[in-house]
Amino acid sequence: MLELVKGWTEVVATGVEVAAALIIALAALLALIRALVAFVRPSAQPDTQKESLRLELGRWLAVALEFTLAADILRTAIAPSWDDIGKLAAIAALRTLLNFFLQREIDGHRARGAEAEAASRDGAVSPGTAGR
């Protein structure tokens, strides 16, 4: 019975890793398409467009990292070795750092967007457009 559970857990873990790989591939493809569109049809605010693209890709990479963490948790649950536990700890630390910095950038992006929106509502001239 234990061998059956271990076998199925390994199959599920492999499936979760495949899902992570698909998420990464699709996110990279979407980012590539959006980047090519940005080259062909530049935005009035190219920096904002690039930052948005980068943050979206980062969010999807964080999701994929969650999937790999789930797969590693499954594998560690059925065959916990110190090597597996160390790998799990490293992935968890990487995921935590990535999410922390990504959330900080998202918050900064939102704050800049809110400032720009408030400035346009108030009719203020942003520093980058003064004198044009």
Provide the number of structural domains found in the chain.
Answer: 1
Residue 126 has pLDDT above 70, yes or no: no
User: What's the average model confidence in pLDDT over 75-80?
Assistant: 82
- Is the residue at 115 inside a domain? yes
User: What's the average model confidence in pLDDT over 38-43?
Assistant: 85
- Is the residue at 131 inside a domain? no
- Is the residue at 13 inside a domain? yes
Sign of CA dihedral 77, 79, 85, 86: negative
Residue 21, domain extent:
2-122
Cα separation, 39 vs 85, in Å, equals 44
- Is the residue at 132 inside a domain? no
- Is the residue at 81 inside a domain? yes
- Is the residue at 127 inside a domain? no
User: What's the average model confidence in pLDDT over 94-121?
Assistant: 81
- Is the residue at 130 inside a domain? no
- Is the residue at 15 inside a domain? yes
pLDDT level of residue 47 (50, 70, 90 thresholds): confident
Q: Which of 20-24, 80-84, 117-121 has the highest mean pLDDT?
A: 20-24
CB 115 within 8 A of CB 128: no
> Is residue 54 packed enough to be buried (19+ CB in 10 Å), middle (13-18) or exposed (0-12)?
middle
Tokens 């019975």 correspond to 1
- Confidence at residue 132, expressed as pLDDT on a 0 to 100 scale: 43
The residues near 20 (Cβ < 8 Å, ≥ 6 apart) are 64, 65, 67, 68, 71
User: What's the average model confidence in pLDDT over 102-125?
Assistant: 76
Residue 7 has pLDDT above 50, yes or no: yes
The residues near 22 (Cβ < 8 Å, ≥ 6 apart) are none
3-state helix, strand, coil in the chain (%, to 5): 90, 0, 10
Q: Length of the chain, please?
A: 132
Tokens 């076998």 correspond to 7
pTM to 2 decimal places: 0.71
| pLDDT tens-digit map of 88-100 | 888 888 888 888 8
102 versus 27: the higher-pLDDT residue is 27
pLDDT level of residue 125 (50, 70, 90 thresholds): low
